[in-house]
Structures are given as C-alpha cells and as structure tokens.
Amino acid sequence: MIRRQIEQRIQTATLAILPDADAASVLIRPCQDSKFGDYQCNALMALAKARKLNPRQLATDVLAKLDVAEWCERVEIAGAGFLNFHLSKAAIATALQSAARDEYRFFRKTDHPRTIVIDFSSPNIAKPMHIGHIRSTILGDCLARTLRLLGHRVITDNHIGDWGTQFGKLIVGWKTDLNRTALDTDAIAEMERLYKLVNARCDADPTVIESARKELVNLQEGDADNLSIWREMIALSQKQFDTIYGRLGVRFDHTYGESFYNPRLKSVVEDLRASDIVRESEGAQVVFFDDIPSLKDHPAIVQKRDGGANYTTTDLATIEFRLRTWGPDEVVYVTDGRQQLHFQQLFSIFRRWHSNTQMRLAHVWFGSILGDDGKPFKTRSGETVKLADLLDEAEERALKAVQEKNPDLPQETQREIARIVGLGAVKYADLLPNRQSDYVFSWDKMLALQGNTAPYLLYAYTRVQSIFRKVEFVRSQTSSLQLAAPEELALARHLLNYGMVIEAVAEEYRPNYLCNYLYELAGHFARFYEGCPVLKASESERDSRLLLCHLTAHVLRQGLELLGIEVVDQM
Ligand code: ARG
C-alpha cells in the first residue's frame, strides 16, 4: 500500500508546518496523466487558501519536511502548488511482489468494518421481473461483493412487493378466470393475464371494482381463502425469481417482503403522531417538510384517508426493523431514479423520528435502459422486456458467436462458454455506464469482441491463461520483477492502482470505475504482450514477465468476479 504510506508521510510533514491542520484531508490520488507522475496531492492548496498563505510556498515548506525517498525517485511542485510523486521502479516492483506473495492482496481489508444493509432487486409478486429490475439486481450484487471483499459486514435483503391493492384484482381474477394449466406452465404470465383482465373489466363495470375492493379487505382481515391464494401467488412468483437469481449467481441473506411489516404499520403511525411528526390533513396522516426547500411542496402521506398504510409507511417500519435487528452503520437502497422523491421523504421522516441514530441512509439510484429510438426499451410488439427472455437471448446470441469462432469445441463446452459470455455481456453493459445516466441497449455493442465489453475482457483473460498452458509457473520461485520495458512498467503501474479503484467503487457505489479500470488493464496487457516476449525471453526476464501475467490474470479474474461475471479459460 505505497499510496497509504506516502499519504501518512505527507500528513506528518503537513502537521510539522501547520500543527492545527486537518491532516486527514491531505490525500493523494493517481495522476490523470502518467507523464506527470504516479500520484498527486492537491490538498495543500486548499489549506493554504484557508490560511491566506502562498500555496507554492506552503508546498515548498512541506516538501522540505517530507521523507518519501523509500518509494519515490522524485517529488515535484507543479502548477499553483500541488505535488507530483514519481515512484521508483524498485518501489513498484517491491509492492507488486509483496502483493503476489501476500494472498495476492492489492488492497487492505478495512480497519473499520461497517455493517451495511443492501436493499436491492425487490421485484413485485405476480408480475414478471422486467428489465428495470435487472439494474437493481446487478448493481446491488456488485456492491455487496465489493464491500464484502473489503471486509465489511454486508446483509442483503430483497424487499419484494408482496402486498398492496393489486391483490384485490388478482384474487377476483383467480376466483373467476384462473386457468390451472396455464398456471402450471408459466405462473407469472397467467397471473399477469388475470390482472390485466380484471383491470380492463373494472374500467367497464363498477361492480368489479367493488368486488376487488371487498376481496382486498377480506385479505387484509385474514380471510383464510384469500390468504391461501395470496400465499400461493407468492410461492409461485418466488420460484421464478429464484430461477433468475440462480442464473445470475445472485443470492440474498433475507427476503422479508413488504407484508412482513404489516403488524407494525399502525404503531409506526401512532409513534409519528406521538412525536408530532405527522399532522392530520383531509382525513389522512401527513408529514410536511416546511424546512426542506426541495420537499416543501411534497408532503408525504403515511396513512390514507381510509386508514390504510402505503409504501412510505412500510418503508418506515422496514428501516426501524433493520435498525433494531442488525444495528447497521448504513442502509443502501438500489432502485430506479424515479423513486428519488420517495427516498428523500423517507429519509427525512426517519431522521426526525430517530434523531439520535447515526445510521447512514443512501439511495443509490440509476437511470433507464433505452431502445434504439431513445424511448424505454421494449419488445418489438411494444411490451416490457422480461428478464428471463433477455437472458435466453443473450446466451443464444453468444452461442452463435462461439460456434462460429470455435466450431470444433464439444457442444457442452460451447454452451458453457456462451452462458458465461452472454450473461457477462448483459451484466457488463449494465455496470459500465455511469449509473445515473440512461443507456441504449444494444446487443451488437455488448457482445462485440472489440471495445469496452465483457467478451473483450474475458478474451483478454483467456490470452493470459493460454500462456500458463504452455509453461509451468511456480509463484514462490519468482523473486524479482524487472520492469525494464516501458510496456512492463505501464502494466505494473496500472496493477498497483487496483486496490484504490475498488475502494472508490465501494465509497461512491460506482462499479463503472472498476469496469473502466479492467478495460485499461486489458489494454496495458495487450501492449505488453505484443512488445515483450514472455516464453522466448531469458530465464530471469521470463520469470519476471510471468509474474506480471500472473498478477494480471488475478486482477482480471477477481475484478470480473466483483462485477458478478465468471471467467472462461478459452473462448
Ligand atoms: N418493489 C419496488 C419496485 O419494484 C422496489 C422496492 C425498493 N426497496 C424499498 N425498500 N422501497 O419498484
């Protein structure tokens, strides 16, 4: 962890000059352009500005107290007063050698493990999981994996939508029009059909609305028949969700659905009333946010006029349960950007209600997936794309490519490669863009072997692995990295930044940092592989290069694993 060590030294040097400075703010970052050096420190300028000091003078003074000769061949003052650090080759080599020895650790497990609840995926019962749920599932899973690797205690909870007014209509449909055979073949499609059927009838006939309302009330009051229909709908839906999670390699520690919180809803509202957080307004219980400009015009209802609870009430009970059960440092919600207002309201209400807790609440939101026409991605016939169909198509398309490229591989192997490449491509396409922007879904782009795609990275990994099929490499025998050629040095420098990248992913909840890092890594490796013969090199050179290959393979494999993508040894 050279970066941390340098950071400590510069903090000490800063305190020697400015004893009252906030040393923790003095951090170093990788240089944008490696020709300026490996790391850069901008923080002294802010310290100088706050104290009305000349920033270049402060940099000069700190530099005079700074001892980083162990790692840096030089440190320069640049621009308005930042510092550029140039690592020595020896320091880079030593750091990578020790990363290779010490369980391949390029990062340090956190000294401050946090308990983090991640609420993600959260599809709704009796409805197909659609393409919108894919982003939540893939992003949430990647964040869980990354935080766990860094040593945090992660608890994943799938907050499925298993309660709500839709069950009135669904039960009416179930009782009047259920087709058992269709239910056995595709339960969710059949439930969807029933819902649409009753919904259409409601438009034409008010008595249907009335019967849906009655069925809902009966369900809420614990009617045995309705409860058992409701339970069957949950079990059937969960089965289909589980198939998809199995394919995606995603698992949850808990699946407390919304209904789990029903017994608590009344007391949540009473609590809020007792603390003067809610006010009655037109018969409903409402929270107003007069002190928060962005929410001033958006009061939140926590109890409807008919006494019923809603999404907000349930989410309040959910936070309280999580607080009581796991005492987390943080709860992270991964959903669509359209729920931003909901979470702003929710977090504000919770802060007033439990003003003494330090627990952080984060809404990690994302944009939409668009079709070529710039509108939300739909099937040709204009319906929302079902996740299961999407995954099937990804595997089929990948299979065609594999068959063309490798016609001689056994069919079994072709299918397995296609599965990994197809699912990997979908996941990667989803994680690569800045999560808050919308992105255009394109099969051709995500499955391309060239460019920033999963197939490209998986292919790069197979190229590294192919070297190890030709030569036996014993890690413990390798003693030194030589880093003579510019391509070797560039690859080594990039490898060294891996730890910092995954820390940034975890801090900002942005897997795209890791995607771009791995893409650059594959590029550095390609240039190295072209410019520096491995198998034909002299013995010591060969061992050094094999170690670089080995570390590259490790980082590619682990990085892809964090993105939820499996690797293949051949493609
Ligand atoms: N079921 C919701 C939906 O499909 C997402 C739930 C997100 N989690 C939460 N605690 N509100 O939109």
pLDDT digits (tens, 9 = 90+) for 227-241: 999 999 999 999 999
For ligand 1, what atom is nearest to the CA of residue 339? 12
Q: How many A from CA of 486 to the centre of ligand 1?
A: 50
Q: Is the pLDDT of residue 474 over 70?
A: no
Q: Could you tell me if 244 and 135 are in contact, meaning their C-beta atoms sit under 8 angstroms apart?
A: no
pLDDT tier for residue 104 given thresholds of 50, 70 and 90? low
Could you tell me the distance, in angstroms and rounded to a whole number, from the CA of residue 517 to the centre of ligand 1? 31
483: left (phi over 0), alpha (psi -120 to 50) or beta: left
Q: Where are the beta strands (DSSP E) in 288-344?
A: 300-303, 330-336
Ligand 1 atom closest to the Cα of residue 333 is 8
* Rounded Cα distance, 2 and 227, in Å: 60
Residue 305 in this model has a pLDDT that exceeds 90: yes
Buried b (16+ CB within 10 A) or exposed e, 69-95: eebbeebebeeebbbbbbbebebbbbb
Assigned domain for 513 exists: no
Are 274 and 141 part of one and the same domain?
Answer: yes
pLDDT at 480: 82
pLDDT at 103: 63
The pLDDT score that the predictor gives to residue 475 is 61
Q: How far is the CA of 122 from the centre of ligand 1 (A)?
A: 5
What pLDDT is attached to residue 495? 95
Choosing from 367, 386, 417, the residue where a domain stops is 367
| Res. 449: pLDDT tops 70 | yes
Q: Name the band, by pLDDT with cuts 50, 70 and 90, for residue 386.
A: confident
The Cα 29–Cα 7 span in angstroms is: 10
Q: Is 464 a residue whose pLDDT tops 70? A: yes
pLDDT at 21: 93
109-141, pLDDT tens digit by residue?
898 999 999 999 999 999 888 877 899 999 999
Candidate of 157, 158, 335, 336 to mutate for ligand 1, largest count of ligand atoms within 8 Å of Cβ: 335
Q: Mean pLDDT lowest for which of 407-421, 467-481, 519-533?
A: 467-481
pLDDT at residue 239, rounded to an integer? 95
Query: Residue 383 carries which DSSP code?
Result: P
H/E stretch holding 61 reads helix 55-65
Mutation test residue for ligand 1: of 159, 166, 343, the one with most atoms within 8 Å of CB: 159
In this structure, is residue 516 part of a structural domain? Answer: no
Lowest-confidence pick of 125-139, 192-206, 333-347? 125-139
Q: Helix 411-431 vs helix 131-149: angle between axes, to the nearest 10 degrees?
A: 90
Last residue of a domain, one of 216, 248, 280: 248
Does 255 or 307 have the greater pLDDT score?
A: 255
Report, as an integer, the average pLDDT of 2-11.
93
> Quick check: is 507 in a domain?
no
Nearest CA to ligand 1 atom 2: 122
| Dist. CA 136 → ligand 1 center (Å) | 10
Mutate to test the pocket of ligand 1, among 117, 122, 131 (most ligand atoms within 8 A of CB): 122
Classify residue 509: in a domain, yes or no: no
- Tell whether 292 and 351 lie within a shared domain: yes
Per-residue pLDDT tens over the stretch 484-524 = 999 999 999 999 999 999 999 999 999 999 999 999 999 99
**Sorting pLDDT into bands at 50, 70 and 90, what band is 364?**
very high
Residue 364 and residue 349: Cα distance in Å, rounded? 18
Task: Write down which residue in 367, 390, 410 finishes a domain.
Answer: 367
How big is the chain by its Cα radius of gyration, in Å? Answer: 28
The CATH number given to whatever domain includes residue 121 is 3.40.50.620
Closest atom of ligand 1 to 132 CA is 4
Asked whether residue 355 is domain-assigned, the answer is: yes
Kindly state the tokens that stand for 485.
Answer: 């050629």
Tokens of 334: 């991964």
Taking the chain, what is the end-to-end CA distance rounded to the nearest angstrom?
35
For 379, phi and psi rounded to 5 degrees?
-75, 170
Q: Are residues 268 and 355 in the same domain?
A: yes
Average pLDDT over residues 1-21: 93
Q: Which among 77-81, 303-307, 527-531 has the top mean pLDDT?
A: 527-531
Closest ligand 1 atom to 311 CA: 11
Expressed in angstroms and rounded, the spacing between residue 532 Cα and the centre of ligand 1 is: 51
CA distance 233 to 126: 6
Pick from 29, 253, 1, 252: which is nearest to 110 by CA?
A: 1
Residue 500: name the closest of 8, 111, 30, 15 by CA. Answer: 30
Segment 308-330 mean pLDDT = 97
Mean pLDDT of the chain: 94
CATH of the domain at 80: 3.30.1360.70
Position in ligand 1 atom list of the atom nearest CA 335? 7
| Together in a domain, 210 and 354 | no
Distance 342 CA to ligand 1 centre (A): 10
Whether pLDDT at 432 is above 90: yes
Q: Could you tell me if residue 450 is inside a domain?
A: no
The predicted pLDDT at position 477 comes to 53
Same domain, 351 and 290: yes
pLDDT number for residue 154: 98
| Res. 319: pLDDT tops 70 | yes
Phi first, then psi: give them for residue 514, nearest 5 degrees: -70, -40
Q: Ligand 1 centroid vs 159 CA: distance in angstroms?
A: 6
One domain, residues 153 and 170: no
> ∠ CA(358), CA(363), CA(364), 5° rounding?
125
**What span, in angstroms and rounded, lies between the C-alpha atoms of 557 and 455?**
13
Q: How confident is the model at residue 378 (pLDDT cuts 50, 70, 90)?
A: confident
Regarding whether 258 and 172 lie in a shared domain, the answer is no
Note the pLDDT of residue 131: 78
Q: What is the pTM of this model?
A: 0.94
Residue 292 placed within a domain: yes
Show the ligand 1 pocket: residues with CB < 6 angstroms: 119, 122-124, 159, 161, 315, 318, 333, 335
Domain that includes residue 292, residue range: 115-160+254-367
Band (pLDDT 50/70/90 cuts) for residue 382 is confident
- Separation of 118 CA from ligand 1 center, angstroms? 12
Residues 218 and 318 in one domain: no
- Asked if residues 160 and 255 have their Cβ atoms less than 8 Å apart, the reply is yes
SS3 435: coil
Same domain, 171 and 142: no
Residue nearest to atom 8 of ligand 1 (CA): 159
Q: Quote helix, strand, coil % in the chain, to nearest 5.
A: 60, 10, 30
Residue 552 within a domain? no
On whether both 244 and 143 belong to a single domain, the answer is no
Alpha helix positions (H), 327-369: 340-353
Same domain, 182 and 285: no
Cβ(417)–Cβ(568) below 8 Å: yes
One-letter amino acid identity for 375? K
Kindly state the average pLDDT of the residues 157-183.
Answer: 96
Percent of the chain with pLDDT over 90: 86
CA-to-CA dists, residue 522 to 92, 238, 435, 445, 455, angstroms: 19, 39, 22, 18, 12
The pLDDT of 303-308, averaged and rounded, is 92
Domains of the chain: total? 3
CA distance 277 to 299: 12
| 263 and 310, same domain (yes or no) | yes
Q: Do 450 and 456 touch, CB atoms closer than 8 A?
A: yes
Q: What residue owns the CA closest to ligand 1's atom 7?
A: 122
Of the candidates 521, 510, 516, 503, the one whose C-alpha atom is nearest the C-alpha of residue 461 is 521
CA of 523 to the centre of ligand 1 (A): 39
Residue 315 CA, ligand 1 centroid: distance in Å: 9
Please, how many CA atoms are within 13 Å of residue 432, restricted to the half-sphere of its CB? 21
Compute the C-alpha angle 192/237/143, nearest 5°: 115
What does the buried/exposed string (b/e) look like for 108-143 if buried means 16 or more CB atoms within 10 Å of the residue's CB?
eeeeeebbbbbbbbbbbbbbbbbbbbbbbbbbbbbb
pLDDT range class, residue 142, cuts 50, 70, 90: very high
